[in-house]
Amino acid sequence: MKERVKEIIPSPSEDETLYETPIESISWGRENPRKMKLKGEVFEVQNSYEILVNTANWLIKNGKLKPSDCPVGIVRGKRYLINKEPKHKYGDDFRAPKRLSNGLWIETHYNTASCINYAKRLLERFGVPSDILAIE
């Protein structure tokens, strides 16, 4: 019953989703990114999903992303980007879950352009300007 009430009346953290951030969409037509920079820190990237994982772990390391912030939504609807369990709003499993440094889970089943867009939105969601993220 408690879960059903949560579905009908979302808590403030569930209602705050990343779609609110007005960030210009990125189209990535080049080859896969090989490097990313976050405020001076450089990360080698072999797979596009690492952009999301590195961004989330950077937020964790800098005290921005905590378990109490979960779940973190991505768009209007039923999908979460980050959660305490690798599950979306209505219990569907994340398709490509990766565990973050603090034990949270991030969904990484996105193409390169979406990984970049969601990483930028994630930064903005936690009060960090998205222009500190550079992809090469």
> Where exactly are the structural domains of the chain?
2-135
Spatial distance between the Cα atoms of 45 and 117, rounded to a whole number of angstroms: 16
Assigned CATH for 2-135? 1.20.1380
This prediction's pTM: 0.80
pLDDT above 70: percentage of residues in the chain: 78
Task: For strands 41-44 and 105-107, give the pairing.
Answer: unpaired
Geometric angle at alpha carbon 103, from 126 and 37, rounded to 5°: 50
The Cα 124–Cα 16 span in angstroms is 12
Torsion of CA 81, 83, 86, 87, to 10 degrees: -80
Q: Report pLDDT for 33.
A: 86
Residue 48 has pLDDT above 90, yes or no: yes
User: Between these two residues, 54 and 29, which has the higher pLDDT value?
Assistant: 54
